[in-house]
Amino acid sequence: LDDNRYVDLENISGKLNYYFQCKSLLGFLFCLEYRVVQHCHLFPRALGEVVGRYNIQELHISLTEGLWRHEAWGYPVHEAPPGAEIWTWFKEGTQDIDTTWKELTGALSGLLCASLNFIDASNSLNPEFTFRPAGVVSSAQQMNSSLLRYATLPREIVCTENLTPWKKLLPCDAKKGLSTLLNAGHIHNTNYHSLALHLRPVCRDTACSKMSVELRQTVSLVYDMVILGSGNQDWSIKKLFGIGLSGACPLATMSNIYIDVTTNETGTPFQLSPNPPAIISSTRGGYESKFAVYDVKALNISGMFNIAAVYGSSKVYAVNLPPVLYANRYIIGYGQEYGGIVTKIHNGHWKPLDVIYLENIPWFIPVYLHTLKIVANGKEIQPLFKKYIPGKARSRPYYLEVALRLPARSTTEISIEFDYVFLKWQEYPPDANHGFYIGAAVITSLLPTGRNYTGLPQDGSTITSSFNASREGYLVQLRTETLIITLPTPDFSMPYNVICLACTVVALAFGPLHNITTKRLRLKDSESQTSLFKWLKLNLRFFSKSKEKQS
Amino acid sequence: MGLLTDPGAGRGKLTQLLVTYHNKLCILLYVGGVAWFLILAHDNFNAGTYFSENALLPGLVKGEFDKEALAKTYQSELLDEAARYPDGVPYSWLLAKFRQINLDVYTHNFTLNYPLGLGTEYTGKNVYAILRAPRSSSTEALVLSVPYRPPTSVHPGTVPSIAIMLALAKFFRRQKYWAKDVIFLVTEHEQLGIQAWLEAYHKATSGRSGVLDHGDMMGRGGAIQAAINLELHAEKIMFILMLKYKGLNGQLPNLDLVTLVHRMCSKEGVRHTFKNRENGNYRDTFKEWLHSFKTLMAMVSTQATGVPNGNHGLFHRAFMFSLFAFSSAFFKNGKGNTALYFQIGRVLEGLFRSLNNLLERFHQSYFFYLLPATDRYISIGMYMPPLGLLCAGLVIKAFALWLKMQEDPTKRNDSDKEDSDMKSENSGSEKKGAGNFSLVPVGMTVLATHTLGIILLSSPQALSVVVSRIWYVNRYFNIPGIFYLDSKHAHSSIILPQI
């Protein structure tokens, strides 16, 4: 049984922008051989069973609150859209993938206490180009996108009930190690927090004779020091997490804390205390960065361990240098008849960039492909290729994937128009006037430079592997904003009014109608008339007749 | 329909009575309608305002705004700065201040190709800053807007409102409860600025295209849920907050929002008025009624014009139902408490926190109402019956005439002899008779009215060309700007009555 577990924490502070005072990423990773899932030692058994039962090759789940603002924060280590996102590669030869997919999301929903059970064929896609297997692929057949399922739940709200089951998947739970830092009260006070699970097959040696399954659990947090701080930029582990560190998880083979100290030389200088045992420098894609490393296992912590950063001078706001590629998305038009979705992609590179744009539009927002317009710097450009599968009400979302070449230093607008439609009255969610969510678009590109890039290379699993990892390109998969639109919503108190009105009308109309339709008019014998009224009537008739005779 | 098609109908006693007395009846109904409308202003015939939307939770939390000293500093700084730009906006100062508060700051350029007259081109630039909500992913937004007026403007300046806006921005930035982005917007050129900003935000052009080039903007913050327009003119002490909320074509904001502002003002002890009239406080019932009635009539008369009375009006079109202009005004007998930056800041803080609480956009309360006082309302269900009475006269008159046409001439001659006062009215239709009724005069009338309408509709364009040939269009930007908007929206309202 070969298992190793690896825990790390990265703290990148004051990088690039005043707004983004501090972002931190906790990554937990453990590998094990797939065959031993049945008697797993460190691998969470609950997840292992799900993986084995549903024939899963790869699984990526993220639960996120808040939006990663690329323009100000650079690229994250793991991209995640607001809400929940899940994409899965099934193994070759899996029968009836749609059913398996539905069952899988149901099981995961229970495992993570998230509403993943609302995912089914009506909101999932199998994009052909955007998502590739992140792990080792045994055959070319495995690359077939029919084995892939992708879905997002933009309305999902992530909170403590997701954090607790997520922590339970860790070998030390939240009892020991870096995971003790994850206190719900503090990490949900951030501007962005994202929990993720990434499961993929990896090679155990360079010859790839043996395969393992790797599970990476990550949490990304972005703190806003303007809200958190008392007027200064200083931070410490205790200030961010509310608690100090009490030591490493004994099951971990490695437990490190990395702090990006590059800005110490270029931006506002700060002093780390205690002094870092080691500083390593990494050159990646032409950009050099420096990290202070604390090896938690070697620290021999007794009591609580805290790392603090103290800034010397008062606030210095560096000019924000946005990353090479970033995007914004928004709804255009007002009224409740026509609208449009516009995605603006900014390419700050000096060369053209190839991107793939994946649009995932729910079935209740019918878009028109002929209105798809791609305008770069005021000139309309033709996409390299596009793939479109129209949606179908209640069974299939609109799928649009466009590959395009963004001109150098350009802003490209991709716009598509849609109609507002009425839904069936039971299809409106609770708080229907809140609006309906449209999931994030995914923009995939291979960046030529490593500026603002902190993602892990495909062949690596940990932060360590991203050091000095210069490659030909750096894969980014930007997730844009989710959107909210107000579909025409009926007044839901109206049925009540209608019922009241209809009942009154029916009650009033029923009596006379029933009378007219069921009773037959018939002559009666005059002898049988005995009552006073009838007697009067008879006499009156007689009186009038006599009057007629007189005239 | 039986009444109209059945030749036998209309011979009943009741209809004969109607035909005989319809004139008196019409007058009675009309007078009754007016009287009913008059008494609606009385407290016994209208209702107190209340919150339909429970999510607003107004004033539930204690106000924490304490940046009034900062606001005063901003005000004096801005006054100095504004003096340096007598005709423009001190952009660099505004941008720097917003950046210091750590907000995302953007500018927005727009151009007006003035459609009337000689085709002059005007440019403008708005400044806005977005406070990104820590609790959400920029799906929704609230707007606080202030029009900037240079010292040379004909309108009273708004420097104090920009000062309080900046102080609020600074205060808001440090709060962690925001679930909606807050956009702080400083517009140039009054309503044109706000219209251009809204059009750019939604990338939509209303009215004639090519007139107002709304340009493009960089930063956005999701769907705008509510917007507040702030105008404080007084430089030192504000006596009264005057609330205005009439939108374009008489559109009103949701009553919940109106109630919210009044309630927050009451809570912070800020004197607030509606139509520049405070609530009356008379012992005498008649005086009380008269006061309410005057307020009500002030609202009705401004509603009738359909022109928005402030920058807020344009927001209504975009389904951002809500907008108010706060404005300070020296009340005639302005005694009592004075409101300072402190109180106004607290009111705005409470307002934005309540709006931040909103889960759904405003839909619960009334969109059609009349206000006789700041805390009383007349809903559509209450003011429609008097209107119905006023209109009933017309219907009855028409119906009676129809019935008379149905009667055959021979019988009418008989009845004429009996009924002398109907004679004069019948004489016209008598000549034609029921059989040889001619459509020509009716058609001519319809045609004439339509032609007149079209001529009136297209007259601003033509007249302006004529006038500008004779007399060069004045250089003041604001005045033709507003006129232009009015004429433009008269067009669009006909095409799109819903918006």
Are the beta carbons of A400 and A387 closer than 8 angstroms? yes
**Rounded CA separation B253/A193 (Å):** 36
Residue range A476-487: average pLDDT? 90
CB A16 within 8 A of CB A321: yes
Q: What is the pLDDT of residue A69?
A: 86
Alpha helices in B358-379 (DSSP H): none
Please tell me the predicted confidence (pLDDT) of residue B131: 92
A334/B319 Cβ within 8 A: yes
Question: What proportion of chain B, given as a percentage, has pLDDT over 90?
Answer: 17
Give the pLDDT band of residue B326 (cuts 50, 70, 90). low
Is residue A454 over pLDDT 80?
no
Backbone angles phi, psi at A157, to 5 degrees: -105, 125
Residue keyed to tokens 């466009």: A402
Angle, to 10 degrees, between the axis of helix A160-168 and the axis of helix A97-112? 100
C-alpha span between A275 and A256 (Å, rounded): 15
Q: pLDDT tens digit string along A343-397?
A: 999 998 888 999 999 998 999 999 999 999 999 988 999 999 999 999 998 899 9
Instruction: Measure CB to CB from residue A333 to each of B135, B175, B202 and give the nearest one.
Output: B202
Residue B36 pLDDT class (50, 70, 90 cuts): very high
| Ranges A358-367, B396-405, B481-490, most confident | A358-367
Q: Rounded to the nearest 5 degrees, what angle is found at the Cα of B422, between the Cα atoms of B420 and B423?
A: 70
Q: B203 and A332 in contact by Cβ < 8 A? A: yes
CA distance B99 to chain A (A): 9
SS3 readout for A319-352: CCCCCCEEEEEEEECCCCCEEEEEEEEEECCCCC
Distance CA B229, CA B324 (A): 5
- Do the chains contact at B174 and A69, CB–CB below 8 Å? no
Q: What does the pLDDT read at residue B84? A: 87
Q: What's residue A13's pLDDT?
A: 33
Contact B191, B314 (CB under 8 A): yes
| Over residues B346-352, mean pLDDT | 90
Of B223, B359, B363, the CB nearest to A331: B223
Beta bridge partners of A23: A12, A222
Query: Which whole number is the average pLDDT over B281-310?
Result: 82
* Lowest mean pLDDT, pick from A514-518, B424-428, B457-461, B493-497: B493-497
Is a pLDDT exceeding 80 seen at residue A459? Answer: no
Lowest mean pLDDT among A90-99, A304-313, A362-371: A304-313
Task: Give residue B446's pLDDT.
Answer: 93
Work out the mean pLDDT of chain A and round it to a whole number: 80
DSSP letter for B429, please. Answer: H
- Better pLDDT: B27 or A308: B27
Quote the pLDDT of residue B345. Answer: 87
Q: Structure pTM?
A: 0.82
Residues 6+ apart with CB under 8 A from B88: B150
Residues of A in contact with B104 (CB under 8 A): 19, 72
Taking contacts as CB-CB distances below 8 angstroms, the residues of chain A near B67 are none
Please compute the mean of the pLDDT values over residues B241-246 and round it to a whole number. 60
Question: How many A-B residue pairs are in contact by the CB < 8 A criterion?
Answer: 86
Chain A residues touching B496 at Cβ < 8 A: 335
Q: Is the pLDDT of residue B155 over 70?
A: yes
- Looking at this protein, which amino acid is placed at residue B144? L
Tokens representing residue A5 in the block: 């577990």
Task: Compute the average pLDDT of residues A519-546.
Answer: 69
- pLDDT of B489 over the 50 cut: no
CA distance A31 to A88: 18
> What's the rounded Cα separation, in Å, for the pair A195 and A161?
12
Q: Report angle CA A496, A501, A503 to the nearest 5 degrees.
A: 95
Residue B82: phi, psi to the nearest 5?
-65, -30
Contact A433 B361 (CB under 8 A): yes
Q: Which residues of A452-546 form beta strands (DSSP E)?
A: 474-479, 483-485
Q: Average pLDDT in the B345-365 region?
A: 88
A494-521 pLDDT, tens digit each: 778 889 999 999 999 888 888 888 888 7
Q: pLDDT tens, B301-316? A: 888 876 666 565 566 5
The answer to whether A385 and A416 are in contact (CB under 8 A) is no
The closest CB to that of B140, out of A18, A431, A484, belongs to: A484
Distances (CA, A) of A158 to A115, A149, A215, B137: 10, 22, 21, 12
Choice between B250 and A197, residue whose per-residue pLDDT is larger: A197
A interface mutation test: which of B102, B137, B138, B358 has the most A CBs within 10 A? Answer: B137
Predicted confidence (pLDDT) at residue A268 exceeds the cutoff of 70: no
Q: What is the pLDDT of residue B118?
A: 64
CA angle B215/B220/B222 to nearest 5° reads 130
A27 touches A462 (CB < 8 A): yes
Q: What share of chain A is helix, strand, coil (3-state, %, to 5)?
A: 25, 35, 40
Interface with chain B: mutation pick from A193, A317, A334, A420, highest number of B CBs within 10 Å: A334
| Straight-line distance from the first to the last Cα atom of chain A, in angstroms, rounded to the nearest whole number | 123
CB contact under 8 A, A191 and B134: yes
- Report the distance separating Cα A506 and Cα A513, nearest Å: 10
Least confidently predicted of A287-301, A392-406, B191-205:
A287-301
Per-residue pLDDT band at A219 (split at 50, 70, 90): confident
Question: Higher confidence at residue B354 or residue A143?
Answer: B354
Most confident range, picked from A54-68, A314-328, A492-506: A54-68
Q: How many angstroms separate the CA atoms of A151 and A123, rounded?
A: 6
ipTM over 0.85: no
Q: How confident is the model at residue B421 (pLDDT cuts 50, 70, 90)?
A: very low
d(CA B9, CA A489): 44
| Least-confidence region, from A37-41, A251-255, A258-262, B362-366 | A37-41
Of the listed ranges A337-346, B16-25, B207-216, the one predicted with least confidence: B207-216
pLDDT band at A440 (very low <50, low <70, confident <90, very high): very high
User: Pick from A18, A83, A342: which is nearest to B203 by CB?
Assistant: A342
Q: Cβ–Cβ of B102/A333 closer than 8 Å?
A: no
Residue B239 banded pLDDT, cuts 50, 70, 90: very low
The pLDDT of A118-127, averaged and rounded, is 90
The alpha-helical segments, DSSP class H, found in B132-241 are: 159-173, 190-202
Distances B53 to A124, B364, B447 between C-alpha atoms, Å: 35, 6, 49
Distance of alpha carbon A145 from alpha carbon B345, whole angstroms: 56
More confident residue, A97 or B323: A97
Q: Nearest CA to CA, how far is A404 from chain B (Å)?
A: 22
Residues 6+ apart with CB under 8 A from B393: B25, B26, B27, B29, B30, B33
Using the 8-state DSSP alphabet, how is residue B211 labeled? T
Mean pLDDT over the full length of chain B: 76
User: Minimum mean pLDDT among A215-224, A453-462, B362-371: which range?
Assistant: A453-462
Pair A57, A142: CB distance under 8 Å? yes
Per-residue model confidence (pLDDT) at position B193: 85
Q: Is the dihedral of CA A121, A125, A131, A136 positive or negative?
A: positive
Cβ of residue A430 closer than 8 Å to a chain B Cβ: no
pLDDT at B266: 85
pLDDT grade for B117, boundaries at 50, 70 and 90: low
Alpha-carbon gap, residue A235 to A21, rounded angstroms: 9
